[in-house]
Structure 1
Amino acid sequence: MAKTVLVTGAGGYIGSVLVPKLLNKGYHVKAIDRFFFGTDKLSSHGNLTLIKEDCRRLTEEHFEDVDAVIDLVAISNDPSGELFQEATYQINHLARANCARLAKQAGVRRYILPSSCSIYGFQDNGVIVDELSPTNPLTTYAKANEQAERDILPLADATFTAVVIRQATVYGYSPRMRFDLAINGMTLGAWEKGDIPLMRDGTQWRPMVHVQDTTDVMCLLLEAEETAINGQIFNVGSDRNNYQLGQLAEEIAEALPIDVTISWYGDPDHRSYRVNFEKIEKTLNWKAKWTAADGALEIYDKLVTGGLVKNEQTITLGWYQELSKWHKIIKECEMYGGIISVG
């Protein structure tokens, strides 16, 4: 019988790539999300069950007949984390730790926590961090991820396989597109204005991973031998995708079939970390397939052909702010279950 995988955050940037991939592999999927960005990002499928629920309100019933959990849910990116700090700790840390505990209590065999390389924060020049290196989270988003890791990994035992992946900064096309990610935003700027906006001063190191590559890893972890992954942390990315941001912008500019300039904005970004990815390559015999140039060309082609457009939903923080604004307006105007029409 096909296994059932529960995916939280299923309608998000990564989830809307992962879920179809799981379905194509024959899994049944319980897709849990608030669906802030709509349910249309996931096409209907006979083996797909959409569950509109807040991750902070999960119960053991949600995990009935579930074989594995991929706990993607998160308030994503640093600006959103700083504006919604309390919610970020509730969702990215406490809700995911609770999800893992509920899964274990319900007899789920495997739990995967997609965390972030951002927990390495800032590292001295020349340092290349691996999974045993000290962490240095600088933002609410990174700190909440680290706290989730610390609560979840001790749950691992002979009956419950718990594994953490620290993802590099993700890029590439998704049905729930995000242009607030480095490579995606650079490509959009190049297409719109022939200019790549780059945060000063371009010397900071940042690892990247394509959304297809990181979702491939999640699928791989569903079938990997328990003894190889249980209680383990894996950095997900590749040395080829360790970039200084100035170098990254130059590679994207050279890859695109248009003339592109690079312009600077903002204060220097003090997050800088270069990451070692040998553990996942050796343990799971996995290597990333995509480069930044590949991802930029993928997005550029979709922009040119109209298969991808920038709208209010493609900037995460902006959409959260828009929802919050209209929530307040509607609450103030609503009476008797409606606004113009009432019940």
Structure 2
Amino acid sequence: MEKVLVTGGGGYIGCVLVPQLLECGYAVRILDRFFFGRDLIANHEHIEIIREDSRRIRADHLAGIDHVIDLVALSNDPSGELFEQSTWEINHGSRVHTANLAKQLGIKRYIFPSSCSIYGFQEAGVVADENSPINPLTTYAKANRKAEEGILPLADSEFCAVAMRQATVYGYSPRMRFDLAVNGMTYGALITGKLPLLRDGTQWRPMVHVQDTARALAFMLSADVERINGEIFNVGSPENSYQLESLAKKVAKTVPRDVEIEWYGDPDHRSYRVAFDKIESLGFKARYVAEDGVREVTRALEEGRTDKTSKTLTLKWYQELVKWHALIQQTAMHGGIVDLP
């Protein structure tokens, strides 16, 4: 039974990927801080948990591992700007370090989940493929690009390294996020009847369902090494490329109530279309489109399996943890608060 180390396995994608890996017959070791709770990962005889920060990963954490999927990241753009240094340390530094450790220890494959946000802004009519010029605009995107530059040159005949530029993810996960476009639109449309849309709606975004991007990561564990080693793959599908106003209208039409689009913010200058021919040529094809994600998130909300709270808004939750940490440091004494050990 091959064993996969999944860093960030308790996150939005990780909580979907880990069950898929188990179904594929892998044993899984998760290394995670579990900012969003250890309870999101069900106990399983083939799951091993290491609670650790990826910036402190050691060779013994990789002992007995066959493959690494290095999901760990401070996600999203607002978090990257507020926690800029940590974003560079985690999203870039820790992943390059882990990739080097994996190579030194003879691990077979290292899968790096990168981001299509690396493309940043592209001229109208351009559909970017993996060889197109890039234009990372945010700390999050820049850190992903630097990680690609540090990881892919490690690839050789003994060590398979591949980068997966994931489109913007959507859909239900036990570690739910309502700070992602489709999920946030769905919540606003269903709960308030008002769908929030960032101006001016003409910007293009590639999307991918969380189940599909998890499948793509698992797919790379058994793909032909000669076709993937040292390569970059965009992860998504042509059917999931949307202009945001068009996407908003699809969401509004899918939720079971009347919906009004509510514009907000300054125009977003990030706009890019992306080609997915390369990953599809390997035999991988996305199964879902935005409407599937809308229906799935709607069901989860109606059944009470999720809700919009500080814990499902990534930046807000990080800010809450920082605030609580400061309060506890100020009031703790002799190893306790009210009760002392």
CA distance in 2, matches of 1:309, 1:142: 28
Instruction: Give the aligned partner of residue 310 of structure 2.
Output: 312
Paired residues for 1:205-284 under 5 Å: 205-282=204-281, 284=282
Tell me the C-alpha RMSD between the 2 structures.
Answer: 0.7
CA distance in 1, matches of 2:323, 2:104: 39
The offset of 1:235, in angstroms, is: 0.2
Instruction: Give the aligned partner of residue 194 of structure 1.
Output: 193
Instruction: Give the aligned partner of residue 296 of structure 1.
Output: 294
CA distance in 2, matches of 1:331, 1:205: 45
What is the one-letter code of the residue matched to 1:69?
V
Instruction: Give the aligned partner of residue 125 of structure 1.
Output: 124
The 3-state SS of whatever aligns with 2:111 is: strand
Deviates more, 1:15-24 or 1:156-165: 15-24
The 3-state SS of whatever aligns with 1:79 is: helix
The offset of 1:146, in angstroms, is: 0.2
8 Å Cα contact 1:256-1:296 kept in structure 2: yes
What is the one-letter code of the residue matched to 1:143?
K
8 Å Cα contact 1:313-1:319 kept in structure 2: yes
CA distance in 2, matches of 1:336, 1:23: 43
CA distance in 1, matches of 2:139, 2:39: 30
Is 1:65 matched with 2:45? Answer: no
Runs of at least 4 residues off by over 6 Å: none
The offset of 1:144, in angstroms, is: 0.2
Instruction: Give the aligned partner of residue 174 of structure 1.
Output: 173
Instruction: Give the aligned partner of residue 23 of structure 1.
Output: 22
8 Å Cα contact 1:194-1:258 kept in structure 2: yes
8 Å Cα contact 1:170-1:209 kept in structure 2: yes
CA distance in 2, matches of 1:113, 1:107: 17
CA distance in 1, matches of 2:150, 2:183: 32
The offset of 1:309, in angstroms, is: 1.9
CA distance in 1, matches of 2:297, 2:248: 15
Instruction: Give the aligned partner of residue 335 of structure 1.
Output: 333
CA distances 1:13-52 after superposition (whole Å, capped 9, x unpaired): 0001101111122211100000000101100000000100
CA distance in 2, matches of 1:311, 1:83: 20
What is the one-letter code of the residue matched to 1:225?
D
CA distance in 1, matches of 2:270, 2:22: 37
Instruction: Give the aligned partner of residue 285 of structure 1.
Output: 283
The 3-state SS of whatever aligns with 1:163 is: strand
The offset of 1:310, in angstroms, is: 2.1
What is the one-letter code of the residue matched to 1:295?
G
Instruction: Give the aligned partner of residue 6 of structure 2.
Output: 7
What is the one-letter code of the residue matched to 2:264?
Y
CA distance in 2, matches of 1:337, 1:30: 31
8 Å Cα contact 2:4-2:66 kept in structure 1: yes
Paired residues for 1:63-102 under 5 Å: 63-102=62-101
Is 1:38 matched with 2:37? Answer: yes
Instruction: Give the aligned partner of residue 203 of structure 1.
Output: 202
TM-score (norm 2): 0.99
CA distances 1:114-171 after superposition (whole Å, capped 9, x unpaired): 0000000001111110000011000000000000000000000011000000000000
CA distance in 1, matches of 2:88, 2:240: 29
Count of residues in Structure 1 that have an aligned counterpart in Structure 2 = 341
The offset of 1:257, in angstroms, is: 1.9
The 3-state SS of whatever aligns with 1:18 is: helix
The 3-state SS of whatever aligns with 2:40 is: coil
What is the one-letter code of the residue matched to 2:189?
A
What is the one-letter code of the residue matched to 1:191?
L
What is the one-letter code of the residue matched to 1:301?
R
The offset of 1:311, in angstroms, is: 2.0
8 Å Cα contact 1:60-1:105 kept in structure 2: no
CA distance in 1, matches of 2:61, 2:41: 20
TM-score (norm 1): 0.98
CA distances 1:95-116 after superposition (whole Å, capped 9, x unpaired): 0000000011111010000000
